[in-house]
Amino acid sequence: MRFIVALTGASGALYALRLLHQLVASEHQIDLVLSEPACVSIAAETDLKLSAHHLDIEKICPGGSDFITAHNPRDIGASVASGSVKHDGMVVVPCSMGTLGRIAHGLSDDLISRAADVTLKERRKLLLVTREMPLSLLHLKNMVSVTEAGALVFHACPHFYHRPQNVEEVVDTVVDRVLDHLGVEIQTRRWKDDFQK
């Protein structure tokens, strides 16, 4: 399968890094786009120092070079900006409220919003993993707009009924739901699997 994964400047880089790791481990092809603000957020939340324009794949996802193609966020002519390029879904993770607003209003001013716009018009899966609180009325209206257009909004709300022991297990509760909706087979603990003893 082939997926587009886009990172914006919202907090929540760990969700994106874990998603990339899981997709590469399952040997899926990934078209990756990082916004410039995403690199700032990643540097604040991890030890990674990245450039959106010259992305080092092995730095962001060790072992990912055979599966990940990086795209410049300003390259509106990139393959993923065209509806003729087939893919199995796009995930914007984390999705900033600014990016959500641009997608909701069809403003294709960078590769992320253009690829999302094309994904919607081609009726392909578009998953937006938002991570902001509290939400303003504008944020909520934009979420309604993208949902009406066919996107799925995943507000990054981890669950705790499996009693996670570390941050990675918390992150996986969100990432596993995203993978489910992409149709990627995963091993995960589900509600009532073995929680009630």
Task: Tell me whether residue 161 is annotated as binding.
Answer: yes
CA dihedral 88, 75, 57, 59 (to 10 degrees): -130
Q: How far is CA 45 from CA 20, 42, 51, 77, in A?
A: 16, 5, 15, 31
Task: Tell me whether residue 35 is annotated as binding.
Answer: yes
- Edge-first strand order for the sheet with 29-34 is 68-71, 29-34, 2-7, 90-95, 126-130, 152-155
Task: Tell me whether residue 98 is annotated as binding.
Answer: yes
Task: Tell me whether residue 99 is annotated as binding.
Answer: yes
Task: Tell me whether residue 177 is annotated as binding.
Answer: yes
Annotated binding site for FMN: 9-11, 35, 96-99, 131
Annotated binding site for dimethylallyl phosphate: 161, 177
Annotated binding site: 9-11, 35, 96-99, 131, 161, 177
